[in-house]
Structure 1
Amino acid sequence: MVLEWLGNNLKPQGAEAGQGDERHAELLSLLTTQRDKQQKGSTPLHLAASLNGWPAARRLRTWFPQVWVGSRSATRLLLDANKSTAYQADSEGSYPIHAAAWSGSLDAVKTLLRRCRDCATLRDCKGRTFLHVAAEEECGNVVEYICQAPDLSSILNAQDKDGQTALHGAVRAGNVAVFNCLFRNRQVRLDVANKDGMTPLDLSWNMLAARFGYGFDPINIIRLSLEHAGAPHGGGRPELFRERHWPPKEANVDSKESENYTQATQVMSIVTALIATVTFASAFTLPGGYRGDGVPVLAGSYAFDAFVLADTLAFICSCLATFSLVYAGVPSTDSYMREKYFNASEVLRHSAQRSFMAAFALGLYMVLPPLDRATAVTVCVVVSASLLRENTYAWRYTCMVNTVRTRIGIRRFLARDYAQEMLFHVLVHFGSYILIFGLPAIRKRA
């Protein structure tokens, strides 16, 4: 509205048009280049380009367009008024395109690049391009757009003052989606080292210094992707690299790791003890009750045999997991042994959880069919869906392998490792189901 008012009401007409045009342009330049001291010297274009950075900005723009202007439209109007503001940095050296990338305003980024193509190469005070900012701030839509634009390939491997590329920033942020956008682009180099001599693979290892952690943590997925793709290390002597970048094993580091194990075992032991208590009780209160001679009413059926096996496996695995957690939670035990016991309890706990849920579904399936068979089938479907939701390891590993395949193509070692990992996953994570549903079927056929 302000720009329209300036154009329609302040622009002189007639004989004074020539001199008035200069005053009008001067006033317009003054307004569009004026800095806000409380906003780090931001110009109106900085503020407009970063509008989408506010929470729920897209919904506000959709529901209240008369109140909350869109980042794209505001950026376009200001560029029409004064194109030179796209090259005006704030007090910290950030340009409007950096502000747009930080807030994930893809429409503003496209508008700036369409009007001022060389904005792509602008650097802030840290030597970062807007791709660096988008990768570090986990703005996947902006990173994906850049990776798919052939004319922006010149900034894919650009380094800032610390020698960091956008891939370094994605690894440091630990965002798998942003990392995958860069990783799939074969023009993105995996061997670029920063000023400390760390390649993206070195940086991923550096962020995994502690042994305690989740196997499919995002940074671990990134590390595995880089290793499977053959990403190199920075070179030099590995022991010197460790001394320089990996924290030494001091007393406070060991005590922190010991505290993590102790807290984790306390939480997990509650779950395993609860499963053991419930399965112990259900073993003596079987579904369907007992006859007068003490024989279970439903004994001899396939579902009953499967229920007994599921309940037994859940009880045994939960007890073994609890015993392993006792050893893993003792601070005086060696950290290596604590890690072994903790990992073993994790496998046993997952097996106990699956067997426990299978026993629940089988118990309801035995007592419901005489009344409502459809409800019994629905219960089994719901429990099966929840079990699939719990077992996301295979899906995560498949996505990681597919990402590597996009980068390096189909390789024999990649297919072999994937097949071995999936086979191991099926045997370890679904072995209880094979026993629960397989042994009763074999017994019936025999």
Structure 2
Amino acid sequence: MSVPVDPNLLEENDDGEAHGVTKTMEPELYKATVGGDILEFVMAMENWAVNRHHCLSALCVPLGPQKNTVLHLATSCGHHEIVKLLCKDLPDLIAEKDARGDTALHIAARAGDGMLILLLTGSDYAGCVLGETNDAGNTPLHEALQYHHEDVARILVQKNRNLSYSVNREGKSVMYLAAEAGYAAITRLLVENPVGYCNVSEKDKDKSPLIAAIRGRNIEVLKLLWWKDHSSFIKRNKGRNPLHYAACTGFTEGAEFLLEQFYSFAYWTDKQGLFPIHVAAIQGHVEIIRMMLQLRPDSGELLTPQRQNILHLAAKCGKVKAFDAMVMLPELEKLLNARDDDGNTPLHVATIYGHPKVVSTLMWDNRVNLKVENNEGLTAHDIAEEQMKPEMLSFRKHMTWMALRLVDTPRAPNTIFNKTMHPIIGNHSKNTENFRDKVNVILLVATLVATVTFTAGFTVPGGTNNSDPDQGIANMLEKVKFQAFVICDSLAMYISIIVAVILLWAQLADQKSMYVALKLALPLLGIALAMMSIAFMAGMYLVVSKLGWLAKLVLLLGSHFVVVLGLLFLPLCFLGSSNYRMLRFISYYPFSLMLYALGNYAENEAEE
């Protein structure tokens, strides 16, 4: 019987170096190790040693494809008995590393198995591997903390409290990881012993344990680290200080603690020239702002390099809930009409960035001066009109313009826009094509309505009489709901035909005529759609009238739909185009409903 050739001995060149061959472990030994049966494992190890004429030592133990030893395999599979045996008989394996630089202790720490940690650290050889790093620069303690195994981390710390750990390749120290995870007990252990300290490079200053505690929103850990080592932050005068981070994350308790300990944090700017209260406004953390105004009242007057206050920033970012709460604060009333370097008030800024909800909040606030002009002589209304140009138009900006028109906001006396004409009307061929596309869409809808209602007129619900003398007469002619069906279906068809004719004329006219045709056609099309809906409701009611609950359900659903249709169509037809205050006032409620329903989409689009 031939003896299998060891593949590790193949493919050698003249210098004795192998090419293209990966190390492999004996199949029986691999299966026994992964399987976890201690007797099979011992037999497999002995058979391997006898077949290969090797003694059982760490130097000759076979390796798998990833340079993993049997100890690596047993540890990753959680086989305690095999690990215990190997630690006793082959302790040198504890220091062996696989292809990723992991020792068995790294694997056990990642798995969070406390028993494996005790077995692997019980040997005299364990001390040398506690500080060993893998390819990611992580020690076993780093791995335990990254994978949130607090009990395992405590064991590793207590094994050698005098060991000094370096930062990993991400610049994170073990103290940072403990603080980030919010492990107060582990942090205390690290603070009280040299094990937690290491030098952090200048480029990794944002990996400070104190910053990690703030990001982890753990006040106990923050206090521990502050009392132990806060001098380094007080000495720094560039970049963000801890209060910036607390304001950014909305960690109110931590921000209050930091402000009470060192109030100057509130008056330091970051590299963009932003104070902590500005960061809170950008992120929409009202509680932080309210707390800072209470402890440091003058912090509300702090400005950015562009001389923007916190209301400017909140309006720019479109933080609606935060902005609504901020304008209610008495301390901020004087900021409502404040102007930045460009002369823009918060209303101008919200208009420029297209945040209709913020604009609506400001317009209905009597304290806001709607007549303020910026350095270019434009009011918020002028800016909105300018943004209605096709090349600048978006859904959010259209809603913003509608919100401004709702309360008839003033225009600047010397505005360059024609007040009698819709802002998107111009002399360019691109604008004309834009109008033609809109006309074609409405014409298509009107044609569909006419087609559907025409067909319904000859397929009436209940059918027609087939016998003399009333042949061809509708069977349900005397029913009130049938009469409603006929009236509404007829109105829908005739009105849709009128809309189609108006739009056909518009196709032959100039741009201004197309705009007038659109203004007339949209309300008529809305009426046609409503009549068609009512006709459908009446027809459905007739055919299911013998089943009372279903008939009532049809009426309920249909009536609600018609109301919703009216609420959606009313602002589309009148708001922004009508000069009559009453129509705009009537349109306020459907517009508010639309703003509420579609506002989340608009704000999410703004953040993107």
TM-score of the pair, normalised by structure 2:
0.52
Match of 1:315 in 2: 493
In structure 2, C-alpha distance between the alignment counterparts of 1:146 and 1:295, rounded to whole Å: 68
Quote how far apart the aligned CAs of 1:333 are.
Answer: 2.9
Q: Is the 8 A contact 1:32 1:45 kept in 2?
A: no
Counterpart check, 1:360 vs 2:536? yes
After superposition, the Cα gap between the structure-2 partners of 1:32 and 1:287, relative to the gap in structure 1 and judged at 3 Å, is: farther
Quote how far apart the aligned CAs of 1:132 are.
Answer: 0.6
Q: Is the 8 A contact 2:406 2:585 kept in 1?
A: no
Q: SS of 1:283's equivalent?
A: helix
Instruction: List runs of 5+ in structure 2 lacking aligned partners.
Output: 1-177, 194-224, 588-608
After superposition, the Cα gap between the structure-2 partners of 1:103 and 1:168, relative to the gap in structure 1 and judged at 3 Å, is: same
Match 1:30 to one of 228, 232, 255:
232
Match of 1:304 in 2: 482
Q: Is the 8 A contact 1:144 1:181 kept in 2?
A: yes
Match of 2:551 in 1: 376
Match 1:170 to one of 344, 350, 363:
350
Q: Is the 8 A contact 1:304 1:366 kept in 2?
A: yes
Match of 1:387 in 2: 562
Q: Which one-letter code corresponds to 1:418 in the other structure? A: M
Quote how far apart the aligned CAs of 1:10 are.
Answer: 6.1
Match 2:380 to one of 190, 196, 200:
200
In structure 2, C-alpha distance between the alignment counterparts of 1:305 and 1:373, rounded to whole Å: 20
Residue correspondence of structure 1 range 39-118 to structure 2 within 5 A: 41-51=239-249, 71-118=251-298
After superposition, the Cα gap between the structure-2 partners of 1:71 and 1:27, relative to the gap in structure 1 and judged at 3 Å, is: closer
In structure 2, C-alpha distance between the alignment counterparts of 1:363 and 1:247, rounded to whole Å: 43
In structure 2, C-alpha distance between the alignment counterparts of 1:180 and 1:314, rounded to whole Å: 35
Q: SS of 1:148's equivalent?
A: coil
In structure 2, C-alpha distance between the alignment counterparts of 1:250 and 1:358, rounded to whole Å: 39
Q: Is the 8 A contact 1:275 1:352 kept in 2?
A: yes
Match of 1:255 in 2: 429
After superposition, the Cα gap between the structure-2 partners of 1:274 and 1:205, relative to the gap in structure 1 and judged at 3 Å, is: closer
Counterpart check, 1:135 vs 2:285? no
Quote how far apart the aligned CAs of 1:157 are.
Answer: 2.2
In structure 2, C-alpha distance between the alignment counterparts of 1:126 and 1:249, rounded to whole Å: 34
After superposition, the Cα gap between the structure-2 partners of 1:45 and 1:256, relative to the gap in structure 1 and judged at 3 Å, is: farther
Q: Is the 8 A contact 1:100 1:108 kept in 2?
A: yes
Q: Which one-letter code corresponds to 1:318 in the other structure? A: S
Q: Which one-letter code corresponds to 1:357 in the other structure? A: S
Q: Is the 8 A contact 1:10 1:24 kept in 2?
A: no
Match of 1:290 in 2: 464
In structure 2, C-alpha distance between the alignment counterparts of 1:26 and 1:85, rounded to whole Å: 18
In structure 2, C-alpha distance between the alignment counterparts of 1:175 and 1:98, rounded to whole Å: 19
Please list the CA deviations of residues 63-112 of structure 1 after superposition, one character each: whole Å capped at 9, or x if unmatched.
xxxxxxx5324433443454322222121211221121112111222232
In structure 2, C-alpha distance between the alignment counterparts of 1:358 and 1:164, rounded to whole Å: 49
Q: Is the 8 A contact 2:407 2:584 kept in 1?
A: no
Quote how far apart the aligned CAs of 1:379 are.
Answer: 0.7
Match of 1:346 in 2: 522
Q: Is the 8 A contact 2:269 2:275 kept in 1?
A: yes
After superposition, the Cα gap between the structure-2 partners of 1:32 and 1:269, relative to the gap in structure 1 and judged at 3 Å, is: farther
Quote how far apart the aligned CAs of 1:126 are.
Answer: 0.9
Q: Comparing both chains, which one has the higher relative contact order based on Cα–Cα distances under 8 Å and sequence gaps of 6 or more? A: 1
Q: Is the 8 A contact 2:530 2:562 kept in 1?
A: yes
Quote how far apart the aligned CAs of 1:8 are.
Answer: 10
Match of 1:266 in 2: 440
Quote how far apart the aligned CAs of 1:280 are.
Answer: 1.3
In structure 2, C-alpha distance between the alignment counterparts of 1:419 and 1:223, rounded to whole Å: 11
Q: Which one-letter code corresponds to 1:145 in the other structure? A: A
Quote how far apart the aligned CAs of 1:205 are.
Answer: 4.1
Please list the CA deviations of residues 173-219 of structure 1 after superposition, one character each: whole Å capped at 9, or x if unmatched.
44343234333443333333222222334434444567999998431
- What is the aligned residue count? 361
Please list the CA deviations of residues 116-136 of structure 1 after superposition, one character each: whole Å capped at 9, or x if unmatched.
222111111111011111112
In structure 2, C-alpha distance between the alignment counterparts of 1:169 and 1:151, rounded to whole Å: 21
Q: Which one-letter code corresponds to 2:526 in the other structure? A: H
Q: Is the 8 A contact 1:136 1:170 kept in 2?
A: yes
Q: Which one-letter code corresponds to 1:28 in the other structure? A: H
In structure 2, C-alpha distance between the alignment counterparts of 1:422 and 1:28, rounded to whole Å: 59
After superposition, the Cα gap between the structure-2 partners of 1:216 and 1:204, relative to the gap in structure 1 and judged at 3 Å, is: closer
Quote how far apart the aligned CAs of 1:161 are.
Answer: 0.7
Q: SS of 2:553's equivalent?
A: helix
Q: SS of 1:391's equivalent?
A: helix
Q: Which one-letter code corresponds to 1:225 in the other structure? A: V
Counterpart check, 1:418 vs 2:582? yes
Counterpart check, 1:190 vs 2:366? no
Q: Which one-letter code corresponds to 1:353 in the other structure? A: L
Q: Is the 8 A contact 2:277 2:299 kept in 1?
A: yes
Q: Is the 8 A contact 2:255 2:288 kept in 1?
A: yes
After superposition, the Cα gap between the structure-2 partners of 1:234 and 1:218, relative to the gap in structure 1 and judged at 3 Å, is: closer
Q: Is the 8 A contact 1:317 1:349 kept in 2?
A: yes
Quote how far apart the aligned CAs of 1:325 are.
Answer: 3.0
After superposition, the Cα gap between the structure-2 partners of 1:422 and 1:143, relative to the gap in structure 1 and judged at 3 Å, is: closer
Match 2:405 to one of 212, 223, 226:
223
Q: SS of 1:170's equivalent?
A: helix
In structure 2, C-alpha distance between the alignment counterparts of 1:33 and 1:396, rounded to whole Å: 58
In structure 2, C-alpha distance between the alignment counterparts of 1:84 and 1:7, rounded to whole Å: 30
In structure 2, C-alpha distance between the alignment counterparts of 1:199 and 1:417, rounded to whole Å: 20
Q: Is the 8 A contact 2:293 2:300 kept in 1?
A: yes
Counterpart check, 1:279 vs 2:443? no
Quote how far apart the aligned CAs of 1:308 are.
Answer: 0.8
In structure 1, C-alpha distance between the alignment counterparts of 2:234 and 2:460, rounded to whole Å: 78
After superposition, the Cα gap between the structure-2 partners of 1:103 and 1:420, relative to the gap in structure 1 and judged at 3 Å, is: closer
Q: Is the 8 A contact 1:279 1:314 kept in 2?
A: yes
Q: Is the 8 A contact 1:324 1:345 kept in 2?
A: yes
Counterpart check, 1:325 vs 2:516? no
In structure 2, C-alpha distance between the alignment counterparts of 1:147 and 1:307, rounded to whole Å: 51
Please list the CA deviations of residues 338-373 of structure 1 after superposition, one character each: whole Å capped at 9, or x if unmatched.
112222221221111001100100001111112x02
TM-score of the pair, normalised by structure 1:
0.69
After superposition, the Cα gap between the structure-2 partners of 1:155 and 1:221, relative to the gap in structure 1 and judged at 3 Å, is: closer
